[in-house]
Chains A and B, each alone.
Chain A
Amino acid sequence: MSLFEFIPSLLSGLGVTLTLTGGGALVAVVLAWLAGLARLSHFGPLRLAAATYVETFRGTSALVQLYWFFYALPLFGIELSATATGIIVLGLNIGAYGAEVVRGAVLSIDRGQSEAAAALNLSNLKRLWIVIAPQALLRMLPPAGNLLIELLKSTALVSLITLNDLTFRGMLLRAETLRTVEVFGLLLIIYFCVAQVLTLGLHAAERRLSKAWHLEGAR
Chain B
Amino acid sequence: MTFEWQFALEVLPQLLLALRVTVLATVFGILLAAILGLVWTLARRIGAAPVAFVARYSVEFVRSTPLLVQIYFLFYVAPEFGITLSPFLAGVIALGIHYSAYLSEVYRAGIDAVPKGQWEAAKALNLGPADTWRRVIIPQALPPVLPAMGNYLIAMFKDTPMLSAITVMELLQTAKVVGAEHFRYLEPLTLVGVLFLLLSLGSAALVRWGERRFNVAALR
State the A residues within 8 Å of B (CB).
55-56, 58-65, 67-68, 71-72, 75-77, 149, 152-157, 159-160, 167, 170-171, 174, 180-181, 184-185, 187-188, 191-192, 195-196, 199
Contact = CB atoms under 8 A, between A and B. Distances in A.
B179 A64 contact: no
Given A61-B159, A160-B165, A170 B76 contact: no
Nearest to A69: B189
12 contacts: A59-B196, A59-B197, A60-B158, A60-B196, A63-B172, A64-B189, A68-B190, A76-B1, A184-B72, A184-B76, A188-B69, A191-B66
Given A67-B176, A192-B65, A181 B80 contact: yes
B186 A56 contact: no
Interface of B is mostly: helix
A157 B162 contact: yes
Which of B67, B72, B73, B158 has the most chain A CB atoms inside 10 A of its CB? B72
Nearest to A190: B65
Contacts of B77: 180-181, 184
Contact of B162 (A59, A63, A68, A75): A63
Interface in B1-53: 1
A76 B3 CA distance: 10
- Pairs of residues from A and B, 9 with the lowest C-beta to C-beta distance, nearest first: A156-B66, A195-B64, A71-B185, A153-B66, A61-B158, A63-B161, A75-B1, A59-B197, A184-B73
Contacts of A60: 158, 193, 196-197, 200
Which of A60, A171, A187, A191 has the most chain B CB atoms inside 10 A of its CB? A60
Interface of B: 1, 61, 63-70, 72-73, 76-77, 80, 158-162, 164-165, 172, 176, 179, 185-186, 189-190, 192-193, 196-197, 200-201, 204
Contacts of B193: 60, 64-65, 68
A64 B72 contact: no
Contacts of B164: 63
A159 B176 CA distance: 16
